[in-house]
Structure 1
C-alpha cells in the first residue's frame, strides 16, 4: 500500500510556510534526485508486473496448475520478496546512516540491472521456470531493502528545511507517476515482445544510477559515540517501539494492507476474471498509481493542515471499501475506477503518515527509522500478497479480495481505539520531542 516518502529536515515546518518557499526543482541536486527516483521506479514496477504475470502464466501453462494453485504461487512470490526485507532491513538502515548514501542507492540499481538482464535472457531463450522467477524476485527484495532507506535519507541534505514539505509531495509525484506509466508501458512492451520489457528496464535503471551519481556526496551524519553495529541497527526499531504515536501510525498501515492487499490477485483478474490479458494487467496495475498521483499533485499545491489524524484513518477506511468493490467487480471500467479510488485513498494516508513520521525522527537516526518504516510497508505489501494467495487457494480469488478489504475497515476502527493518539493529531506538529 504504501510507497516510501523522502524524510523531512530537523526543524518542523508547518504547511502554511510552504507557499513562500521556492520549488524543490529549482535546486539541481533535487532535480537529479527526482529523475533518479522516477526512472528507477518506472523500471522496477514494470519489471515486477511482468514477473508476476509470467509466474502466473508459467504456473498455469507449463506446470498445469489450476487457478487456485497458480494464485497460491503469486502469494509465495510476495513471501520470497519479503524474506530478504525482513532479514536485511536493520543492516540496510545502518548502512544508510554509516556509508555514503548515493553509493548505496547505486549499488541497489546495479542489482536490479543484473536481474533485468537475467530475466531478459531466459525470456528470450524460453527457459523461464518457477524456481528461477522466485530466486530473482528474492534478489529484487535485496535491492529494494537497501535502496529505500538510502534514497529517503538523501533528500533532507539537498534542499533547505523550508522546501521539504513540497519536496515530499513532489517525490511522491515522481513515485506515483512512474507507477502509472511503468505498468502500462511494461504491459504494452511485453505484449509486443516479452524480452523488450527487460531491456527497457535495464536502460532506465542505468539512467537512474547515472543521475543519482550527479547529486553531491551525501555523507552520513557524525555521531559522538560509536556503538556496536548491531546495537545501532536495533536503535531504530527500539525508537519506534517506545513511541506509541509512531508505533500506531506505522502498524496501522502494516495490518490494514496485510489484510486487504489485492495487488497479488491482479494477474488472476486480468487473465481469468476480466479476461483482458497482459495489456489489461498493465492498466490494472497503473490505476492505483494514477489515483495516488492525482492526490499527490493536489497535495503539492494545497497540503492539508488540520485534523490530519482523523483524515488518515478515514482514508484507510475508503481504501478498504474500494478493495471490496473491486473484488466484486466483473467490469473492467468499474474495476479500474475502484483501483483509482483505492490508490487515491492510499496516497492520502501515505502522505499524512509519512510526514508525521519524518517530523518526529532525529537526523542521526533517519536511515534506521526509515528502514523500520520501510520494513512495515514492505511487510504489508509482500505478506499481504502471501495472505491473498493463501486465501485464494482456499476460498478463491474473489472472496480473498472481498474479505481482506472488509478486514481493513475493521482494523482501522480497532486502531482508532487502541491508539487514540492518532485521532488526536490535529496538525503536523511533532507529537513529542524527538529523542536524541
Structure 2
C-alpha cells in the first residue's frame, strides 16, 4: 500500500488551485462544484490515512504490552481514548477508525510473512479516496457479521460489488444497499432479524411540562409499512394541492414534519369517527370540557380528558366540530349544561353530498379523504347539521377559518350550491369573496 499522504497532497493542491484566495461568494457554479468534489476527496483520503494510523496505535497499545503500551505511556487507558481525545470525537468514532484500519491494513502472519488486507477491495477504494471511512465501516461490519455463514467467495464478491456501488451514495442509500446484500449473503438470517425487530417495537407517549405530547416510536418493517405509506400518501396529496396554488398569499406553510404530524392526527381522528371499523376502540372518545361563559366569550381555557395542559377556547371550538369528540359544557357551579353527542354531525349520505358539491377541501382542494365535515355556523353557536350549514375542509384550512377571521357563505341549494370564502381585512382590505375550489374552475356559459 502506497503512502496515502501522496495522493492527499495532490488533491489538496488541486483544491487550492480552484480556490486561490478569492472570496467564495459569487464563485462560478461549475468551479464551486469542482472545489466541493476535491475537498470531499481530500477528506476521504485523510480519513483513510487516519484509519491506518489508528490501527497502528491500536497495535502498539495491545493489552499484552501492559503499561508499556503506547496509549498508557501517553496517559490514556486505551487506544480509542487516545484517538478520541486527539481528534475531539467520540470513543465510538475512534473505534470505527481502528476497525477500518485493522480491516484494510496488510496483515503480518505468524510465519513473519506479510498477507493482503482482510478486505482488499475496501482498502483499495480507501487508498484512492473513493469511499469514506463511515461507508467502509458499514461494509466491513456487515461482511464480518455474515462471513462464516456466507463463505469466502460470496463475501469477496459482495465486497467488490458494494465498493463499486458506494461512490456517490449517501450513507442512508448505502445502508439500504448493505441490508439487501446481507439478505443475499445470509438468507437464513432475515427471519431472526425480523423477529428481533418485531420484539423491539414500541411506542411511548408522554406529556412534557409545556403540554406538548411526545411520541417516540420504533417499528419493525411489517408494522412500519402501513404507517409510513398512509402518512406519506396524505402528505403527498397535500403537497400536490399546494403546488396548484403556489401564489396563495394566505396559505398555511407547514414543514414536512408538521404535515406528517397532522397526517397522523387525521388518521386517528378518522378511526375514532368511523362507523365501519373493526378496530377495538371500545367506544373510545375524546372529551373536551369548557365552561359556558368561556365558550360564548372566547375567554379562559378548556381541558381535554387524559391531558394535563389546558387549551384555548378556539382550540376547543375546533375540536367540537370534529367527529369522535364530545364537548362537555359546564355552568358556573361546574354542573353539566350540555353533553354533546359523539355522532352529532353529518351522516354518511350528507358527507357524500358535500363531497359532490365541494370535491374535497372547499378552500384548498385537498382530496375528500383528507377533510372533515364542518359547520358554517359554529356548532358551539347553534350551527345546524344540514347541507346548507356544512362544508368539507382539511385541518389546516379549518385552523385558518377559525383562527384568522375568515367568513363563509353558501349560495344556492344542494350539491349545485357555491361556497364563498370572505377573507379578513388584513388579507384583502376590500374583503372580496373567493369561490370555493370546486366552483373556481367551472366554465361559465
TM-score range, shorter chain: under 0.3
Task: Name the structure, 1 or 2, with higher relative contact order (CA <8 Å, separation 6+).
Answer: 1
Structure-2-length-normalised TM-score: 0.21
**Structure whose residues are more often helix by fraction:** 1
Structure-1-length-normalised TM-score: 0.22
Larger Rg: 2
**Structure whose residues are more often strand by fraction:** 2
